[in-house]
Structure 1
Amino acid sequence: MTTVVRAEPERFRIDESHVSVGFLAGHARFADVLGQFTDVSGGFVYDAQTQTLVSGRVEVAAETVFTGHDERDGHLRGGDFLAVDAHPVIAFEASGYEPVDDRQGVLSGDLTLLGVTRAIELDLTLNRRGDHPIGGADTLGGSARGTIQRSEFGMDYALQGDLVSDAIELIVEFEAVRQDD
């Protein structure tokens, strides 16, 4: 007699002290500006045995954009870019994960920015899963990369002459802690 053991999807909460959502934006084709958001939260439901993502949501507080330059950060918060008063949250709603191997795959979902929702894909690497060396919590760590076109979200300031690039590289690093139900 054969017994089939099935894993159950597990709920993970993103560790807000160990998550980074960053971006690279080209400036006049001279160099890229590196920025990040300092307030990120969310979670997901994932079955590691079948590599199936059941659901996931990440929210970013748009007003927490930081590039290390106060005047530029103020401009990014304004109407030319993030319009944080009208659109305080940038949200990613995961819709699927297609594994390439045990550690890598493509994460798909809908990104809502400036009230516009578009499907995006991120290359995801699952770095490590195990008991965290500080506190022992069951932790899953990952890295995601992708590119969006900001014009697709209605952000067209300084596109002419490529003063600010249309292509924005996304950089995501996270640790997520398994939650007991």
Structure 2
Amino acid sequence: MNKTLLAAALVALPLAAQAEPEAYALDASHSQILFSYNHLGYSTTWGMFSGFEGDIQFDQEDPANSSVTVSFPVRSMFTGWEGRFEHFMSADFFGAAEDEMVTFTSTSIEVTGDT
């Protein structure tokens, strides 16, 4: 029985040495979700969403093993012009109901440099 316990401990040891990704909650009071788009090459327009929540799972030892999830109400969009907002909420774009949420979940993280 002691040999079985020792073998189990040796197999489990490498798993215990790996750190789990650390969770960070996004702070909506110190963050923004901004977007921009180019309108036919004539102008760049900006907008934002509010009321979001989300988290980042950050793996310092293997950043590519990290992930990001964010959700926000689609009708929280601010564009600065009511006509543009209504166009974005129409069936041409979001077709959004009052309580509809947008959720983004990363499918991969790419490390692009040392920092």
- Taking structure 2 as the reference length, what is the TM-score of the superposition? 0.71
Q: How does 1:34-73 map onto structure 2 within 5 Å?
A: 34-73=46-85
**2:94 corresponds to 1:82:** yes
Report the number of matched residues.
99
Of 94, 97, 103, the match for 2:109: 97
Q: Distance in 1 between matches of 2:39 and 2:59?
A: 41
Q: Distance in 2 between matches of 1:26 and 1:32?
A: 4
Q: Percent identity?
A: 25
Q: How does 1:1-181 map onto structure 2 within 5 Å?
A: 7-85=19-97, 88-103=100-115
Q: Distance in 2 between matches of 1:102 and 1:88?
A: 39
CA contact (8 A) 1:27 1:33 kept: yes
The SS at the match of 2:87 is: helix
The SS at the match of 2:114 is: coil
- Which structure is larger by alpha-carbon Rg, 1 or 2? 2
Instruction: State the shift of 1:87 in Å.
Output: 8.1
CA contact (8 A) 2:53 2:72 kept: yes
Instruction: State the shift of 1:30 in Å.
Output: 1.2
Q: Distance in 2 between matches of 1:59 and 1:50?
A: 25
Which one has the bigger strand percentage? 1
- Taking structure 1 as the reference length, what is the TM-score of the superposition? 0.48
Gap runs ≥5 in structure 2: 1-16
Q: Counterpart of 1:130?
A: none
Q: Distance in 1 between matches of 2:51 and 2:32?
A: 9
